[in-house]
Chain A
Amino acid sequence: MTEDSMTEDSTTPEMNDETNITTDPVADTGPQEEQLLYAKILEVGMFFGLALLLVTFTLYLTRTLPAVIPIEQLSDFWTMNVHDFLESLNEHYLHQEHLLTGWSWLSQVWKGDFLNFIPIAVLSAITIICYMGIVPVLIRKKDRAYVFMAVLEVLILTLAASGILAVGH
């Protein structure tokens, strides 16, 4: 909690009889510092990720870069469940020891289809970066509860991103 929000009286304005609306002025009416910082990082990352996605997809669609799965053959694959898809992908095109799960798509990133995984990963990683960005602000404000929750969220999202949790059918 923030140092200036320790007591309920100081943080919670008086309510009128019928609604959640109050007319009492409060000292701080705008978004807090960490919220604005989060928004700024999110905005930059979102625009970068979406722009990159359009570029990589154009390269894929125009066949500027060859794809692992030829575009004409895609419809043979997207009807399969993900496990059969990965096995078939490996059997027909990759011929690797392990299926293409976790971060192993990085080994195919120069191919048109898997190049698109870079912006998808960027879009999926923005939130982690946003949380990491606000932790120093929360520490400076001695907002211990939110420091704890933000760090925990970073750990949980990083665990999800790590690929350790991927399971099969």
Chain B
Amino acid sequence: MVTGPEVAWWVWPLVLLVLTFVMGILAALGGVGGGVLFVPIVSGFFPFHLDFVRGAGLLVALAGALAAGPGFLKMNLASLRLAIPVALIASTCAIAGAMVGLALPTDVVQTALGATILGIVILLSVAKKSEYPEVEQADRLSSALGIYGVYTEASLGREINWKIHRTVPGLLLFIGVGFAAGMFGLGAGWANVPVLNLVMGAPLKISVATSKFLLSITDTSAAWIYINKGAVIPMMVVPSLVGIMLGSLIGVRLLRVAKPAFVRKIVIGLLLFAGLKAITKGLGLPFIV
């Protein structure tokens, strides 16, 4: 790989802009957030140090969540009542994760990142999604907190009432989700959706929208740790942010003609490649690139 000082300063930000544009398209088509692609790929194949990649990754995921949040909230697809207790746990643990991630040696974090990415590959490959999970009865905690809602399902032409169960186990799982989000700067949509959908029983659309909105809170807490630590370089953040957002806009338009299942396989393949690269880089082992 060509190292940073040997090429003109503008080459890497420009390549970053182009690559994040492509990532934005793939992420939108593949149904994952930009952060989960950004951190392992950019840290594996660019000269930027992992500290700055994680800071940029969090801000990229944060910007995407901030942009999507208002629309989802207004459409009642993202549920504030569901997000507030979840966010309280996830954001607190994201702070702890960010502090630990910035305190540990880089090779340890890089190796752990690779292992986490490979775990995400398995999760994306085997986890089933449920459009309307069966929730026979809301549990006492979710009932007491009034976590339920209604949204209009255009494909069915009717309103869907939803409620959740297994609230306590779901909230406990967000301890790990928040910690990983802060430690690796990954965002956490890859974990939010399965927990909300498969564990807590929220309908898939509610899970996806609430997950996206949740990132705006979880990533905010971790982002502040990186900002205060000085792990933010605007020349990395802004091209990445612009690239991902433009790519996402194009990706959403391509969704009508693309084959999402095929793209999802490409995304999983990319993550597998990037995860292996992260592990070998962390362990100081040779890799094909």
Contacts and interface: CB of A to CB of B under 8 A. Distances in A.
A82 B52 contact: yes
Contact of B234 (A40, A46, A117, A134): A117
B70 A46 contact: yes
B276 interface: no
B125 interface: no
Given A20-B163, A160-B224, A167-B99, A82 B229 contact: yes
Contacts of A26: 150, 161
A49 B85 contact: no
B5 interface: yes
A96 interface: no
Contact of B49 (A1, A38, A78): A78
Contacts of B280: none
Contacts of B224: 124, 157, 160-161
Q: For the complex, would chain B's binding face be called helix, strand, loop or mixed by DSSP majority? A: helix
Interface in A15-33: 15, 18-24, 26, 28-32
B221 A156 contact: yes
B229 A75 contact: no
Contacts, number: 242
A39 B73 contact: yes
A51 interface: no
Contacts of A97: none
A163 B49 CA distance: 22
Interface residues of B, number: 84
Size category of the A interface is 35 or more
Contacts of B137: 12, 15
A157 B91 contact: yes
Given A11-B146, A39-B73, A153 B87 contact: yes
B49 A82 contact: yes
B91 A153 contact: yes
A45 B84 CA distance: 19
A165 B225 contact: yes
Given A43-B70, A76-B4, A121-B227, A15 B59 contact: no
B95 A165 contact: yes
Interface string B173-211: 000000000000000000000000000010100000000
Contacts of B71: 39
Contact of B4 (A79, A81, A153): A79
Interface stretch (B111-119, B127-135, B265-273): B127-135
Contact of B230 (A28, A46, A85): A85
A163 B84 CA distance: 24
Nearest to A138: B84
A42 B216 contact: yes
A79 B47 contact: yes
Contact of A42 (B66, B79, B229, B234): B66
Contact of B228 (A28, A46, A103, A150): A103
A34 B80 contact: yes
A123 B105 CA distance: 29
B88 A152 contact: yes
Interface in A43-99: 43, 45-46, 49-50, 53-54, 57, 60, 71-82, 85-86, 99
B217 interface: yes
A15 B137 CA distance: 8
Given A113-B235, A162-B228, 19 more contacts: A15-B163, A19-B133, A20-B132, A20-B163, A35-B76, A35-B79, A46-B66, A53-B241, A79-B4, A82-B51, A124-B227, A149-B85, A150-B84, A156-B95, A159-B95, A160-B222, A167-B103, A167-B229, A169-B102
Interface of A: 1-2, 5, 7-8, 11-13, 15, 18-24, 26, 28-32, 34-36, 38-40, 42-43, 45-46, 49-50, 53-54, 57, 60, 71-82, 85-86, 99-103, 105, 113, 116-117, 120-121, 123-124, 126-128, 134, 145-146, 149-150, 152-153, 156-157, 159-163, 165-169
Interface of B: 3-5, 7, 9-10, 12, 47-52, 59, 62-63, 66-67, 69-71, 73-76, 79-81, 84-85, 87-88, 91-92, 95, 99, 102-103, 105-106, 132-138, 140, 143-146, 148, 150, 158-163, 201, 203, 216-217, 220-225, 227-238, 241-242
